[in-house]
Amino acid sequence: MNLLILGRGKTGSLVVEVAAERKHQVRIAGSKENQACAALTPEKLHDIDAVIDFTTPRCVLANIEASVRAGKNMVVGTTGWHAELERVRSLVDERGTGFLYTANFSIGVNLFFESVRAAATALRHGYSGQIFERHHVHKKDAPSGTALAIQRVIREAGGGNDNLEITSFREGDVVGLHEVVLESGNDRIYLCHDAKSRRGFAEGAVRAAEWLAGKKGFYDFKDVWREL
């Protein structure tokens, strides 16, 4: 495939590496090449099969709008924009493109969501829940998109308990650590996912772009990762 990777930061540069290993043709645009979405004009995108975005919450919506309006399939890993999901879904439907997003492209984290979903039944039996997340000091959004996704999973499975605090820590170069603690008067359940490197995100994103080829529609990675 011809892939355009937006963002040559910590994750975007690994996406480039994985995409090249998987024999894709790769073009990269960082903030300099993509000011005011300059890399995303219909002319610049005409031979691109899919755009993969690992940029910043500040510019991701403009990137999404430009790519989708140009009729291109898109995989979005950038977080901090999910309040606009429904608006983006309408745009994708209107333009008939393929769009896949997630706050976390790691297969391990998606398995972790399932363990959390099973354990969150505890909330129906008098337990309280807490979420802790740790990331590197340069992370721009807090709480993390993954912590918010865990909160949604627990709320759904736990019967809509609104009292689910997320505590965020920003320290050193932590890749991403998420903990769920479920507590009753009698005992405590701990669940933890600790990412050792960003490579799992990059592999998930490239495989997602491969899965999306030739498809239309709006997809959440949690619903499709088993098919990769």
Ligand X SMILES: NC(=O)c1ccc[n+]([C@@H]2O[C@H](COP(=O)([O-])OP(=O)(O)OC[C@H]3O[C@@H](n4cnc5c(N)ncnc54)[C@H](OP(=O)(O)O)[C@@H]3O)[C@@H](O)[C@H]2O)c1
For residues 222 and 10, is the Cβ–Cβ distance under 8 A? no
Residue nearest ligand X by beta-carbon distance: 9
Minimum CB distance to ligand X, residue 189 (Å)? 25
Helix axes 199-212, 107-119, angle to 10 degrees: 100
Q: Which is nearer to ligand X, 51 or 119 (CB)?
A: 51
Q: Which is nearer to ligand X, 201 or 225 (CB)?
A: 201
User: Which residues of this chain interact with ligand X, rule CB under 6 A?
Assistant: 6-12, 29-32, 34, 54-57, 59, 77-80, 102-105, 198, 201
Minimum CB distance to ligand X, residue 45 (Å)? 14
Which of 24, 44, 72, 135 is labelled catalytic?
Answer: 135
Minimum CB distance to ligand X, residue 42 (Å)? 17
Residues 6+ apart with CB under 8 A from 2: 24, 25, 27, 47, 48, 49
| Residue 216 among the catalytic residues | no
For residues 177 and 193, is the Cβ–Cβ distance under 8 A? yes
Minimum CB distance to ligand X, residue 117 (Å)? 19
Q: Which is nearer to ligand X, 119 or 175 (CB)?
A: 175
How far apart are the C-alpha atoms of 179 and 65, rounded to whole Å? 34
| Residue 138 among the catalytic residues | no
Which of 82, 139, 216, 222 is labelled catalytic?
Answer: 139
Q: Which is nearer to ligand X, 107 or 191 (CB)?
A: 107
**Active site (catalytic) residues:** 135, 139
